């Protein structure tokens, strides 16, 4: 982890629960207590109905591949080519991620393929949620 060269997130009070969850290998989302909207990225209110009454919960970690590009250009810490992906969680929200344990090719990366979350520890405090092809 010491020579990790990629950007490292810095949690804020509003996102601390998400990153604490990731460290425990839990994917944390929020749900509005009033209108049941599922919220990501984290914020302590609901952008659908503006109430501040929201609760955190642990998501299933199941998702599907929604869209991506395979970057061919250099980026600090990354070995091109690599896919920058958007996944749609079973609970609804979408998030950017990388797809791991999978070839970074159009043939291997098929839209709507089922995925599951795994957590990659990058510092003492931060584990990044990434996704891999779902097991049987």
Partner 1 sequence: MEQKSVAIIGAAETTDLGKIPNLAQIQLHADAALNAMADCGLTAKDIDGIATAGDSPASVAHYLGITPTWVDGTGVGGCSFMLHVRHAAAAINEGLCEVALVTHGESGRSRIGRGGFAAAPATLPGQFEAPYGPAGPPSMFTIPVLRMMKETGLTLEQLASVAVVQREWAGMNPRAYMQDPITVEDVLESRMIAYPFRLLMCCLVTDGGGALILTKADRAKDFPQKPVYILGTGESVETPMISQMEDFTSSKAFRVAGSKAFAEANITHSDVDHLMIYDAFAHLPIYGLEDLGFVGRGEAGAFIADRNTAPGGKLPLNTNGGGLSYMHSGMYGMYALQESVRQMRGIAPAQVENAKVSVCHGVGGMFMASGTIIMSNESP
For 22, the enclosing helix (H) or strand (E) is: helix 16-23
Cis bond before residue 81 (omega within 30° of 0): yes
Minimum CB distance to partner 1 smaller for 100 or for 134 = 100
Q: Does 72 bind partner 1 (CB under 8 A)?
A: yes
Contacting partner 1 (CB under 8 A), which of 38, 86, 113, 134? 86
Q: Does 69 bind partner 1 (CB under 8 A)?
A: yes
For 23, the enclosing helix (H) or strand (E) is: helix 16-23
> For the CA atoms of 10, 13, 14, 19, what is the dihedral angle to 10 degrees?
50
Q: What are 10's two structure tokens?
A: 């810095």
Q: Does 135 bind partner 1 (CB under 8 A)?
A: no
> For the CA atoms of 114, 120, 126, 130, what is the dihedral angle to 10 degrees?
-20
Q: Does 20 bind partner 1 (CB under 8 A)?
A: no
Least distance CB 122 / partner 1 (angstroms): 8
Contacting partner 1 (CB under 8 A), which of 54, 63, 85, 115? 85
Number of Cβ atoms within 10 Å of the Cβ of 57: 13
Contacting partner 1 (CB under 8 A), which of 63, 98, 117, 119? 98
Residues making contact with partner 1 (CB under 8 A): 6-15, 19, 41, 43-50, 52, 66-75, 77-78, 81-82, 84-86, 94-98, 106, 111-112, 122, 128
């Amino acid at each position: 982890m010491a020579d990790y060269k990629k950007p490292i997130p810095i949690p804020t009070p509003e996102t601390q629960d998400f990153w604490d969850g990731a460290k425990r290998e839990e994917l944390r989302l929020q749900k509005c207590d009033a209108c049941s909207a599922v919220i990501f990225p984290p914020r302590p209110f609901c952008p659908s109905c503006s109430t501040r009454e929201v609760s955190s919960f642990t998501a299933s970690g199941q998702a599907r591949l929604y869209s991506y590009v395979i970057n061919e250009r250099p980026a600090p810490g990354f070995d091109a080519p690599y896919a920058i992906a958007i996944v749609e969680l079973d609970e609804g929200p979408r998030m950017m991620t990388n797809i791991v344990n999978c070839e970074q090719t159009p043939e291997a990366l098929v839209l709507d393929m089922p995925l599951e979350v795994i957590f990659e520890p990058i510092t003492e405090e931060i584990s990044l949620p990434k996704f891999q092809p779902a097991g049987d």
